[in-house]
């Protein structure tokens, strides 16, 4: 029986993994039960429980707050990831690390492939990239990095829940139309991770991209949420400059998923199917 440590168990992806897994060999931890920035504590946990795989879902994801909280963002997104990679190498443990489209500058004209130059424009993306680079430098066997984008779930706080709440409170909303990418239903990503883990055999660290299939803007996403939930709120397209934020968002986040589909014989659901499933699970699909 595999012995798998899942960090960030209260986040969107960690929560979805918790629902999909019935195996007693999975250990779900959060920051209150295991501080992943404490290398000794993590190493001890792995020894005591015979861990052979780590799925790192933990991250500092408050993109705007990170601009003024570099120390904590770096601690979780970079240093803790470095420690996990060191432990994975020392103890011959498989490692799956979740990263982000924010490692790119968002100025591409075609879907990003894994080898495209990175260029984060904020603290969140910079610290996530530093975590990626630490893993690659340490280079533990059977380790992969999965970059994803626009994650939502029936768990936690996310764009879908915000739109549902505001749509019921207001007659109209302005939503950005000039940022383009693809939503990722965390449950679909969780299923993909569970499909991939038994197949990990790579010697050098490999990077992959995962989101649901399709392409759209935040405006399009909001329109479909209202349509599926039968909420009468009017959605109006606005430009990014009309909604300034402390951290700059990528204008283009489309990820090319050819590599992950080919290497792991993976089928990826269409974004509307993921949204439909999520809304049904929340009791919001009308």
Residues serving a catalytic function are 124
CA distances from 17 to 28, 187, 219 (A): 9, 7, 29
Short-list 148, 144, 154, CA closest to 59: 148
CA distances from 82 to 87, 123, 208 (A): 9, 17, 19
Tokens describing residue 149: 């984008």
Tokens describing residue 153: 């779930």
Q: Which residue has the tokens 């993976």?
A: 266
Beta-carbon count within 10 A of 108 CB: 17
Strand partners of residue 206:
144
Strand partners of residue 5:
27, 54
CA distances from 74 to 6, 13, 129, 153, 167 (A): 20, 20, 10, 25, 35
């Amino acid at each position: 029986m595999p012995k798998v440590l899942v960090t960030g168990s209260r986040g969107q992806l960690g929560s979805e993994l918790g629902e999909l897994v019935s195996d007693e060999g999975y250990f779900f931890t959060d920051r209150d039960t295991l501080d992943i920035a404490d290398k000794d504590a993590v190493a001890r946990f792995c020894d005591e429980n015979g861990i052979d795989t780590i799925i790192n879902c933990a991250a500092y994801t408050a993109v705007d707050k990170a601009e003024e909280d570099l120390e904590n963002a770096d601690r979780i997104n970079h240093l803790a990831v470095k420690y996990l990679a060191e432990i994975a190498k020392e103890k011959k443990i498989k490692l799956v690390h979740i990263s982000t489209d924010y490692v790119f500058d968002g100025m591409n004209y075609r879907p990003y492939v894994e080898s495209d130059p990175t260029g984060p424009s904020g603290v969140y993306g910079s610290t996530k990239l530093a975590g990626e680079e630490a893993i690659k430098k340490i280079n533990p066997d059977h380790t992969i990095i999965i970059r994803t984008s626009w994650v939502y779930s029936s768990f936690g706080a996310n764009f879908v829940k915000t739109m549902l709440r505001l749509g019921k409170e207001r007659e109209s909303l302005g939503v950005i139309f000039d940022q383009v990418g693809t939503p990722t239903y965390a449950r679909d990503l969780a299923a993909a991770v569970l499909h991939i883990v038994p197949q990990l055999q790579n010697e050098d660290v490999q990077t992959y991209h995962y989101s649901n299939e399709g392409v759209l803007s935040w405006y399009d996403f909001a329109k479909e949420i209202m349509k599926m939930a039968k909420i009468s709120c009017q959605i109006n397209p606005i430009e990014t400059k009309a909604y300034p934020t402390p951290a700059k968002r990528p204008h283009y986040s489309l990820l090319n998923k050819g590599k992950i589909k080919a290497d792991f014989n993976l089928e990826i659901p269409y974004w509307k199917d993921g949204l439909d499933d999520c809304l049904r699970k929340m009791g919001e699909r009308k």
